[in-house]
Amino acid sequence: MDKRLLTIQDVSCFGQCSLTVALPVISACGVETVILPSAVLSTHTGGFQHYTFRDLTADMAKIRESWQKENLHFDAAYTGYVCADQIDPILEIIQNCTTSGAIRIVDPVMADNGKLYPGFDADFPQKMKRLCVNADYLLPNLTEAAFLLGKEPKLTGYTREEIETIIAELHTIGVKNVILTGVSFDADKLGVAVSDGKTIRYDFNDKIDRASHGTGDVYASVFAGALMRGFPAFNAAALAADIVCSAIRATPADHWYGVCFEKAIPELVQRIESGK
């Protein structure tokens, strides 16, 4: 039977991020996608000033009970932007509503460019860490990885040795596979380090010199979809990077709040179906 994935993250009604990216992207990969919205915001928080925030934490246990009564189970759980009070209800959902051997993909969405996103306190990373410790696949950017490990993030200039120390420390807290984004050893290239705890492999693309919001969500969603379709983790990580680059290139310069990932969906479908 085809595998079914549950994704838990917010709905930012406007802004091309979180669930409005994950659902279309993972569905386009041909994977049944069940959603649990953790909150509803009028827009995302990355540059909009007047966002509303409807917290759906109180619904999480009720939704879990409903799924348990219906005997519904998921073969993978992928979590993104969530709040501190949602960590325990999410762990309960994962414990009770996933199949044995289900894959846990955690994107510890909370920070970028050296800073926590608005709305997260300094103690949030230690709370998010509880969701990360048993992840099968953890997809932090470099800022998130530093915060999870209680380190001061650097904006640039990580050496290969520093990158590999961060990866080793993430394995030490219990993460099985690390997909670390935002790695750069060369001014013209940006990439990802993929580690299964034994081997670290790097994939680089030409750096596109533009600040783009929501690329992390496109990245993690393509990765999750490709993994569910049988891509090895390194290939899923490299495909995700290619699709993010295509999405950025398809985005007009004045489109500041997100990336036009919709334009990259035909390429995504073609690459998923060809297995490359």
Rounded CA gap, 259 and 222, in Å? Answer: 14
> In the numeric block, which tokens belong to residue 26?
């993972």
CB nearer to ligand PXL: pick between 38 and 195: 38
DSSP secondary structure letter of residue 85? G
Residue number, 102 or 105, with CB nearest to ligand PXL: 105
Beta bridge partner(s), residue 206 = 189
* Paired tokens of 92: 């309960």
For residues 222 and 214, the answer to whether their CB atoms sit within 8 Å is: no
* CB nearer to ligand PXL: pick between 51 and 185: 51
Q: Which of residues 194-223 bind ligand PXL (CB under 6 A)?
A: 214, 216-217
Shortest distance, CB of residue 233 to ligand PXL, whole angstroms? 22
Q: How far is the CB of 134 from ligand PXL (least distance, A)?
A: 22
Told to check if 81 binds ligand PXL by CB under 6 A, we report: yes
Longest distance between any two alpha carbons in the chain, whole Å: 54
Q: What b/e sequence results for 215-246 when a residue is b if at least 16 CB atoms lie within 10 Å of its CB, and e otherwise?
A: bbbbbbbbbbbbbbbebebbbbbbbbbbbbbb
CA angle 88, 90, 91 (to 5 degrees): 65
Q: Which of 181, 163, 190, 161 is nearest to 108 (CA)?
A: 181
Q: Which is nearer to ligand PXL, 109 or 193 (CB)?
A: 109
| Residue of the chain from 6, 29, 31, 44 that contacts ligand PXL (CB under 6 A) | 44
- Which of 42-50, 64-72, 201-209, 261-269 is the region at the interface with ligand PXL (rule: CB under 6 A)? 42-50
CA–CA dist 109, 144 (Å, integer):
7
Closer CB to ligand PXL, 46 or 191, in the complex:
46
As measured in angstroms, the least distance from the Cβ of 86 to ligand PXL is 13
**Measured from the CB of residue 47, what is the shortest distance to ligand PXL in angstroms?**
8
Between 20 and 195, CB nearer to ligand PXL = 20
Report in angstroms how near the CB of residue 248 gets to ligand PXL at its nearest. 14
- CB 256 → ligand PXL: shortest distance, Å? 13
Under rule CB under 6 A, residue 12 binds ligand PXL:
yes
- Give one DSSP letter per residue of 204-253, joined into a string: EEEPP-S--TTHHHHHHHHHHHHHHTT--HHHHHHHHHHHHHHHHHTS-T
- Write down the residue that tokens 């990969």 correspond to: 29
> Binding mask 97-136 vs ligand PXL (x if CB under 6 A, - otherwise)?
------------x-------x-------------------
Decide: is 46 part of the binding site for ligand PXL (CB under 6 A).
yes
Binding site for ligand PXL (CB under 6 A): 10, 12, 17-18, 41, 44-46, 81, 109, 117, 214, 216-217
